[in-house]
């Protein structure tokens, strides 16, 4: 058993609050017995849920607050004075103060990003944080960023995203030199906007601890052509939502096809093991959780409407990131990169 890891949970975030967060923590605790939790929210709602999980209660501290950030709140409202008493802020604060190794919230994405950036600050050398998602591929998984934190990104930020994504791949997948690709409208060097071309020029020549693949297209993501896919948040978020919708669409097609005739239903019974494996592979809950990379602390955003299974996977991700020392590694990579650029510029 490894060293204890403490996760701060925003119990009031998301569509379901403690009724999902507490059972999810109980699931994660079974998988990772060394976990400890700081559960932040309304004690009157948390208490009954926690009472149903005595093993979890023994390893949890409840921090009471009756202030919660609503899902429709504007990010600018998140930093108003009263909001500093919210479950979201207090959970992030636990990471800043060293009482927790990571925070998980299913709350308002914009508010979470603004609060996390204000409270934890960015790693030196990072212009903007990015949201990174784990994406299933044909053979394994890859990392895609940004999937929603930044509507646009200039060439410097795209290079920073590449560094951060590669650091996450080394931490989670154990890769010494992850391959990185820039998502583009084609693989030819003449294609794409100027910012992407400029980022490509840096990634090809700069002293980075990555293996730059070049431009990739949308279908390369699922193929697993590269370990890290880099794009801006506008394009990345659309790609993510499109993939989720396509997975649901295929599932509906299969259900309809398998019930179309007696022979089809018989075939479905005979192939139920294969269909179960396919369903698990396509289940978005199994890869729930986006990482806010570039901050001095680990922040994981869960989907707001997920169930306990999905939220538990977000807690698993926070545990893995906390155990990997990814924040320290990212800081070291960025410092090394910027130092080399300065030396080359002075030469």
Whether residues 94 and 142 share a domain: the answer is: no
- Per-residue pLDDT tens over the stretch 226-275: 999 999 989 988 888 888 787 778 777 777 877 778 776 777 666 666 65
- Give the global pTM: 0.86
Buried b (16+ CB within 10 A) or exposed e, 139-175: eeebbbbbbbbbeebbbebbbbbbbbbbbbbbbbeee
Q: Report the distance separating Cα 106 and Cα 302, nearest Å.
A: 4
Whether residues 314 and 224 share a domain: the answer is: no
The pair of structure tokens assigned to 16 is: 């379901």
Share of the chain above pLDDT 70, in %: 89
Whether residues 222 and 259 share a domain: the answer is: yes
Whether residues 60 and 190 share a domain: the answer is: no
Whether residues 43 and 180 share a domain: the answer is: no
pLDDT score, position 256:
81
Q: Report the distance separating Cα 140 and Cα 155, nearest Å.
A: 29
Whether residues 182 and 249 share a domain: the answer is: yes
Whether residues 309 and 264 share a domain: the answer is: no
Whether residues 267 and 307 share a domain: the answer is: no
Over 60: is that where the pLDDT of 89 sits?
yes
Q: Could you tell me which of 274, 342, 292, 318 has the C-alpha nearest to residue 121?
A: 292
153 or 287: whose pLDDT is higher?
Answer: 153
Whether residues 104 and 136 share a domain: the answer is: no
Q: What's 87's domain CATH number?
A: 3.40.718.10
Whether residues 278 and 136 share a domain: the answer is: yes
Angle at 139 between CA 133 and CA 140, to 5 degrees: 35
What rounded mean pLDDT belongs to the chain? 86
In the chain, the number of structural domains is 2
Whether residues 195 and 104 share a domain: the answer is: no
Residue range(s) defining the domain that contains residue 170? 132-287
Whether residues 146 and 62 share a domain: the answer is: no
């Amino acid at each position: 058993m490894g060293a204890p890891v403490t996760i701060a949970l925003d119990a009031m975030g998301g569509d379901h609050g403690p009724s999902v967060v507490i059972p999810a923590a109980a699931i994660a605790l079974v998988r990772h017995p060394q976990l400890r939790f700081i559960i932040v929210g309304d004690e009157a709602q948390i208490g009954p849920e926690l009472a149903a999980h005595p093993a979890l209660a023994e390893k949890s501290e409840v921090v009471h607050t009756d202030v919660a950030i609503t899902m429709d709140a504007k990010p600018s409202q998140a930093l108003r004075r009263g909001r500093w008493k919210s479950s979201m802020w207090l959970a992030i604060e636990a990471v800043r103060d060293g009482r927790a190794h990571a925070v998980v919230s299913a709350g308002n994405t914009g508010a979470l990003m603004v609060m996390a950036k204000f409270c934890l600050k960015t790693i030196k050398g990072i212009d903007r944080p990015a949201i990174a998602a784990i994406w299933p591929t044909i053979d394994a998984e890859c990392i895609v960023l940004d999937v929603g934190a930044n509507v646009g990104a200039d060439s410097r930020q795209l290079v920073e995203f590449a560094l951060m994504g590669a650091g996450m791949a080394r931490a989670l997948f154990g890769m010494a030199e992850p391959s990185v690709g820039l998502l583009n409208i084609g693989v030819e060097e003449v294609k794409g906007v100027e910012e992407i071309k400029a980022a490509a020029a840096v990634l090809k020549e700069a002293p980075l601890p990555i293996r730059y693949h070049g431009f990739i297209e949308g279908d390369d993501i699922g193929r697993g052509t590269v370990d890290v896919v880099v794009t801006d948040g506008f394009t990345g978020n659309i790609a993510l939502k499109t993939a989720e919708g396509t997975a649901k669409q295929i599932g509906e097609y299969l259900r309809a096809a398998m019930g179309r005739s007696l022979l089809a239903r018989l075939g479905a019974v005979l192939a139920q093991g294969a269909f179960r494996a396919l369903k698990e592979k396509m289940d978005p809950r199994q890869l729930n959780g986006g990482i806010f990379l570039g901050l001095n602390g680990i922040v994981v955003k869960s989907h707001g409407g997920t169930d306990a299974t999905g939220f538990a996977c977000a807690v698993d991700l926070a545990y893995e990131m906390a155990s990997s020392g990814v924040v320290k590694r990212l800081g070291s990579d960025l410092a090394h990169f910027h130092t080399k650029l300065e030396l080359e510029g002075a030469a």
